[in-house]
């Protein structure tokens, strides 16, 4: 399994990284995540070069991490700075330190060439830091390759059939989309005028009648899907204030067969309403668990039938374009490696 290496991935929520080291697998490699006493978030290869015990079993000491087995101590750059009981430190005593940047409430990790790790490439998620937005958030782990989760998020026609309890309505699958793309993104737009609001929208937006609703789904590689969605009252109430949301989906492959889905649901209304934050968190976790049940089983069929090609419908055009972008980038990565 080849992953796109030279991209920023979410290693986790920044708040997950504390003085107690966290073991996490990213692009099928083990990473020890921890925060130094000075507050710096650090990601080291989770394998002590001495006896290969995971460093995530260790303890933070000042600006360093001490291995929990024989006490070798490493600085934030992965250099061994102490071997207990021994004066000299062998040059081989070092581990890879992955570039790690905290921004937009996430800790972003760079698994590829460190020299290429430009923080300006981190996707912009201003809604998570803005005073006029509030958000709910969470993480769900799927037992599938991340490609199936991308499919799921890019083609929202499934919400009609899977998520009637929360975000789906009959009109979503019926409404044609406008799909556009360039080399670096895919955009799928759906406008539903004079339509029933979903259960979640009805509750969030206090809608009493029909609405004009939109979804603007933007995929950017390697695996982000940002959805600009919202609704305003239709018909007699037109002109009244509606709701505006961003469903932020930051996807990180854990292994070829498992995937982290870090999600946030940002809103521009009821900013101080903690019960709304809680309600949305629960509704979205319910929604994504409805997906998980399907796509984890989907993966089992996909694994068992390597020869079977999926059948693409009209609604899959965005999915197809997104796959093409990923495949092109993988080819380019292969070629760069072959020439290196």
Residues that bind a second copy (CB under 8 A): 30, 46-47, 49-54, 57, 66-71, 83-86, 90, 92-93, 151, 155, 157-158, 160-162, 173-176, 293-295, 297-298, 301-302, 304-305, 308, 310-311, 313-315
**Residue closer to a second copy (CB basis): 53 or 97:** 53
Q: Nearest Cα to 246, choosing from 231, 262, 258, 264?
A: 264
Supply the minimum distance, in Å, between the C-beta of residue 200 and a second copy.
20
Strand boundaries in 86-177, DSSP class E:
97-98, 100-103, 106-110, 134-142
Whole-number minimum distance, CB 319 to a second copy, in Å?
A: 9
Compute the radius of gyration of the chain from its Cα atoms: 22
Distance (Å, rounded) from C-alpha 119 to C-alpha 225? 19
Least Å from the CB of residue 186 to a second copy: 18
CB of 139: closest distance to a second copy in angstroms?
A: 22
Measured from the CB atom, the residue of 69 and 279 that comes closer to a second copy is: 69
Residue 193 vs 237, nearer CB to a second copy:
193
Nearest approach, Cβ of 145 to a second copy (angstroms)? 12
Question: What string of DSSP letters covers 217-277?
Answer: EEEETTTEEEEEEEEEE-GGGTTS--EEEEEEEEEEEEETTEEEEEEEEEESSSTT-HHHH
Tokens of 10: 């979410």
| Residue for token pair 């492959």 | 253
Q: Least distance in Å: CB of 2 to a second copy?
A: 17
Which residues share a beta bridge with 80?
74
Closest CB to a second copy among 158 and 267?
Answer: 158
Nearest CB to a second copy, comparing residues 14 and 67? 67
CA 30 distance to own-chain centroid: 18
* Nearest CB to a second copy, comparing residues 75 and 155: 155
């Amino acid at each position: 399994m080849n992953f796109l290496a030279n991209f920023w991935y979410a290693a986790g929520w920044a708040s997950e990284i504390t003085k107690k080291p966290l073991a996490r697998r990213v692009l099928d490699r083990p990473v020890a995540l921890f925060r130094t006493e000075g507050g710096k978030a650090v990601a080291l290869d989770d394998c002590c070069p001495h006896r290969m015990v995971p460093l995530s079993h260790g303890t933070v000491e000042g600006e360093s991490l001490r291995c929990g087995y024989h006490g070798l101590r490493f600085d934030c750059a992965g250099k061994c700075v102490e071997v207990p009981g021994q004066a000299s430190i062998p040059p081989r005593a070092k581990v890879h330190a992955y570039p790690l940047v905290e921004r937009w409430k996430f800790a972003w990790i760079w698994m590829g060439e460190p020299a290429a790790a430009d923080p300006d490439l981190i996707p912009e998620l201003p809604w998570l830091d803005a005073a006029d937005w509030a958000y709910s958030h969470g993480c769900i782990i799927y037992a599938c390759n991340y490609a199936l989760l991308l499919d799921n998020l890019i083609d929202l026609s499934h919400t009609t059939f899977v998520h009637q309890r929360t975000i789906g309505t009959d009109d979503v699958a019926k409404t044609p989309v406008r799909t556009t793309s360039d080399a670096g993104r895919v955009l799928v737009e759906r406008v539903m005028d004079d339509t029933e609001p979903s259960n979640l929208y009805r509750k969030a937006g206090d809608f009493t009648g029909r609405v004009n609703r939109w979804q603007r789904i933007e995929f950017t590689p390697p695996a982000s899907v940002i959805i600009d969605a919202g609704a305003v009252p239709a018909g007699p109430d037109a002109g009244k204030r509606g709701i505006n949301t961003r469903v932020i989906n930051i996807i990180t492959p854990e292994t070829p067969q498992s995937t982290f889905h870090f999600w946030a649901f940002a809103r521009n209304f009821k900013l101080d309403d903690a019960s709304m934050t809680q309600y949305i968190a629960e509704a979205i976790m319910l929604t994504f668990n409805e997906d998980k049940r399907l796509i984890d089983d989907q993966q089992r069929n996909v694994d068992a039938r390597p020869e079977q090609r999926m059948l693409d419908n009209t609604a899959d055009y965005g999915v197809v374009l997104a796959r093409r972008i990923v495949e092109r980038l993988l080819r380019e990565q292969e070629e760069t490696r072959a020439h290196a």
